Amino acid sequence: MMRQVLVLLGLLSGLSATYAAPATAQGTPILEAQIAQSNPCRGLPGLDNLDFIRIDSVVLTASGDLMTGQTDGAIGCRTGSGAFLQSDLSANISVSIVLALSNCSIQSADLRITNTQGSAAFLLDAFRAQAEAALVNEFSSGAIDACRSLTTP
């Protein structure tokens, strides 16, 4: 049972460490602060500054060999203060991953981007399928790495 708890905690770290930027507000929940350490916006040309990160819920369950993780939240990205044209983008993100603990393989993974807002929302709307596929791959990779790091002797 302790091994499952360690794997679950590691997977949560792996899932959350995949996305973020610097959190400066006091009292920011630990998960949001951890996510805020890696800037998920940095891959967006021009919108490479994290405006906010919000985690609404995290649910982790283990049953036998399977671990299921579900996270819902939102992220906002913006241009830097020195940009010629100021722009912003925000969206809700829901991620669900089922992982086999015995071999650290992804059994299923799903990511949905909804409620896009901001002056650059039309860009995300136009490439939503590609963005969701890229993000689910990144989350899956982070979960696998976290699982392997905790299960390797």
Q: Which residues, at least 6 apart from 64, have a Cβ–Cβ distance to it below 8 Å?
A: none
Q: What is the DSSP pairing of strand 49-63 with strand 105-117?
A: unpaired
Q: How confident is the model over 28-56, as pLDDT tens digits?
A: 466 677 667 667 777 777 788 889 888 88
pLDDT at 16: 43
Report pTM. 0.73
Instruction: Return the closest-CA partner of residue 9 out of 36, 24, 30, 40.
Output: 30
37 phi and psi angles, rounded to 5 deg: -75, -25
d(CA 30, CA 34): 6
Instruction: Tokens for 55, please give them.
Output: 């985690």
Q: Are 96 and 110 in contact (CB under 8 A)?
A: yes
Q: How confident is the model over 48-105, as pLDDT tens digits?
A: 888 988 888 888 888 988 989 888 989 898 988 888 889 999 999 998 999 998 899 9
